[in-house]
């Protein structure tokens, strides 16, 4: 996000743009209802404002954001939420840009959001780099928003879920949520999307060993990217190996059999096939009722996550706790109390 000052002024995707508009609005007193109305009319600036309110730590902004979400929730039912993960350098942004261009060319409106908890840890962001997806940024049928910085995974995940609601209300019918395979971020993204895509590279034969089993199990499809030039043969070989490996997993609840495809984002090969596969998944699972059932399941998870996050926030923000926590930490450091006693003491204080 720190990079965004380098962006041309016309790019309303930047946070700075939205932040300055929020400042202007604050002078007048932001009106959540009018922001929500504008979002539903497809106004990108209002959408940016809404997401900035979602990301804000200020309690006033948060209550405005909640009001906007309430107005927007449930307005769009026929969207597709697509999660894309893969290690840095696998080609996620190139792939998303290509796929995005295919989709906007076919009349879709595409929003790209990111879940990148590393932005809070390192101060920089793996996914927030504004030089990514230059073409898609210029496309007025696309909306790209980097991951909110300075947050825990739980915080980023909640904000992204809420941003999805606003994007859908604004008429974006394909929502791509990108994440780097860091920590638990894939699990978080998996819990908020309809289809989960894992991007992989063909490696030197032992590529299966390096992948966390859990990610493979979550994937609805694996795409071996960079299947071009001298890498093409390796990619095709890797495809066979991954297919074989996927067979070892138990069948998915929805009966979907994960597919392995090859693609070259650089040469624009295989991208349409990936989209066709996602289309088959959507129509099959919509017809079986599984698609909407899964979303309702995800909503339950969302509710519980929101409670978890808010309880934690409330706890650590409590001035009484803040003070006592310092003291208890010092006592633990000096070995004068046990971590368990200290924890229960603090939890009791909260009540
Ligand atoms: P990300 O970190 O996963 O977002 O990866 P990027 O999209 O930034 O791509 C990393 C590098 O791989 C860049 O230099 C891209 O040009 C290159 N790249 C991306 N997709 C392909 C592809 O399909 N084929 C080849 N040969 N290179 C690619």
Q: What is the CATH number of the domain that holds 20?
A: 1.20.5
Q: Are residues 212 and 314 in the same domain?
A: no
Q: Are residues 128 and 172 in the same domain?
A: yes
* Ligand 1 close to Cβ of residue 94 (< 6 A): yes
Residue 345 has pLDDT above 60, yes or no: yes
* Ligand 1 close to Cβ of residue 176 (< 6 A): no
Q: Are residues 320 and 271 in the same domain?
A: no
Q: Are residues 116 and 248 in the same domain?
A: yes
* Ligand 1 close to Cβ of residue 225 (< 6 A): yes
Q: Tell how far the Cα of 225 is from the centroid of ligand 1, in angstroms.
A: 8
pLDDT category of residue 150 using cuts at 50, 70 and 90? low
Q: Are residues 276 and 215 in the same domain?
A: yes
* Ligand 1 close to Cβ of residue 93 (< 6 A): yes
Which atom, in ligand 1's list, is nearest to the CA of 199?
Answer: 3
Mutational test site, ligand 1, from 87, 89, 134, max ligand atoms within 8 Å of CB = 89
Phi, then psi, of 65 in degrees rounded to 5:
-60, -40
Give a yes or no: residue 2 inside a domain.
no
- Please report where in the chains the tokens 């395979």 appear, as a residue: 181
| Closest C-alpha to 260, from 224, 313, 231 | 224
Give a yes or no: residue 326 inside a domain.
yes
Mean pLDDT of 9-15: 44
**Predicted confidence (pLDDT) per residue in 270-291, tens digit:** 999 999 999 999 999 999 999 9
Which atom, in ligand 1's list, is nearest to the CA of 264?
Answer: 23
Amino acid 303: pLDDT? 92
Mean pLDDT of 291-312: 91
Examine the fold and report which residue of 38, 56, 72 is the final residue of a domain before the chain moves on: 72
Average pLDDT, the chain: 84
What tokens does 269 get?
């090969």
Mean pLDDT of 48-68: 91
Please check whether residue 39 is in contact with residue 65, taking contact to mean a CB–CB distance below 8 angstroms: no
Residue 209 has pLDDT above 60, yes or no: no
Give a yes or no: residue 8 inside a domain.
no
Q: Tell how far the Cα of 290 is from the centroid of ligand 1, in angstroms.
A: 34
Give a yes or no: residue 3 inside a domain.
no
Q: Are residues 230 and 162 in the same domain?
A: yes
Q: Are residues 127 and 58 in the same domain?
A: no
Q: Are residues 105 and 173 in the same domain?
A: yes
pLDDT category of residue 348 using cuts at 50, 70 and 90? very high
Number of domains comprising the chain: 3
Q: What residue numbers bound the domain in which 266 lies?
A: 80-287
Closest residue to atom 9 of ligand 1, CA basis: 91
Mean pLDDT of 170-186: 86
**Predicted confidence (pLDDT) per residue in 210-225, tens digit:** 566 678 888 999 999 9
Mutational test site, ligand 1, from 92, 94, 131, 224, max ligand atoms within 8 Å of CB = 94
Residue 194 has pLDDT above 60, yes or no: yes
Closest residue to atom 25 of ligand 1, CA basis: 226
Q: Are residues 304 and 333 in the same domain?
A: yes
Q: Tell how far the Cα of 92 is from the centroid of ligand 1, in angstroms.
A: 7
Amino acid 24: pLDDT? 61
Q: Tell how far the Cα of 213 is from the centroid of ligand 1, in angstroms.
A: 24
Amino acid 20: pLDDT? 63
Residue 127 has pLDDT above 70, yes or no: no
More confident residue, 156 or 22: 156
Question: pTM of the predicted model, to two decimals?
Answer: 0.85
What tokens does 293 get?
């059932």
Q: Are residues 170 and 213 in the same domain?
A: yes
Question: Which CATH number characterizes residue 249's domain?
Answer: 3.40.50.300
Closest residue to atom 20 of ligand 1, CA basis: 91
Cα→Cα distances 343→314, 324, 336, Å:
16, 10, 14
Length of the chain counted residue by residue: 351
Which atom, in ligand 1's list, is nearest to the CA of 90?
Answer: 3
Q: Are residues 220 and 281 in the same domain?
A: yes
Give a yes or no: residue 4 inside a domain.
no
Q: Are residues 328 and 252 in the same domain?
A: no
Mutational test site, ligand 1, from 91, 97, 127, 227, max ligand atoms within 8 Å of CB = 91
Give one word for 33, left, alpha or beta, with left for phi > 0 and alpha for psi -120 to 50. Answer: alpha
Burial 250-271 (b: 16+ CB within 10 A, else e): eeeeeebebbbbbbbbeeeebb
Give a yes or no: residue 292 inside a domain.
no
Phi, then psi, of 239 in degrees rounded to 5:
-60, -45
């Amino acid at each position: 996000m720190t990079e965004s000052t380098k962006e041309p002024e016309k790019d309303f995707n930047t946070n700075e743009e939205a932040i300055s508009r929020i400042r202007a609005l604050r002078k007048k007193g932001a009106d959540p209802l009018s922001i929500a109305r504008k979002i539903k009319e497809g106004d990108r600036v209002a959408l940016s404002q809404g997401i900035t309110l979602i990301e804000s730590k200020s309690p006033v902004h948060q209550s405005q954001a909640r009001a906007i979400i309430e107005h927007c929730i449930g307005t769009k039912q026929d969207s597709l939420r697509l999660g894309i993960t893969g290690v840095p350098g696998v080609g996620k942004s190139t792939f998303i840009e290509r796929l995005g261009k295919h989709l906007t060319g076919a009349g879709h409106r595409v929003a790209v959001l990111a879940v990148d908890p590393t932005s809070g840890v390192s101060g920089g962001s793996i996914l927030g780099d504004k030089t990514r997806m230059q073409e898609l940024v210029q496309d007025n049928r696309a909306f790209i928003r980097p991951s909110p910085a300075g947050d825990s995974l739980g915080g980023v995940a909640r904000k992204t879920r809420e941003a999805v609601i606003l994007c859908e209300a604004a008429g974006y019918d394909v929502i791509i949520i990108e994440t780097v395979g860091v920590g638990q971020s894939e699990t978080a993204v998996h819990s908020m999307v309809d289809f989960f895509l894992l991007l992989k590279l063909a490696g030197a034969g032992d590529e299966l060993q390096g992948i966390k089993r859990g990610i493979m199990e979550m994937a609805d499809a694996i795409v071996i990217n960079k299947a071009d030039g001298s890498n093409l043969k390796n990619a095709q070989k890797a495809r066979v190996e991954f297919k074989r490996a996927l067979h070892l997993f138990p069948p998915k609840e929805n009966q979907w059999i994960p597919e392995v495809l090859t693609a070259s984002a650089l040469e624009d090969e295989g991208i349409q096939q990936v989209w066709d596969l996602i289309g088959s998944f959507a129509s099959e699972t919509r017809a079986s009722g599984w698609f909407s059932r899964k979303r309702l399941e995800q909503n339950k998870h969302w509710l519980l996550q929101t409670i978890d996050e808010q309880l934690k926030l409330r706890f650590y923000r409590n001035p009484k706790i803040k003070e006592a926590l310092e003291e208890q930490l010092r006592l633990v450091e000096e070995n004068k109390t046990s971590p368990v006693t200290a924890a229960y003491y603090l939890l009791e204080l909260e009540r």
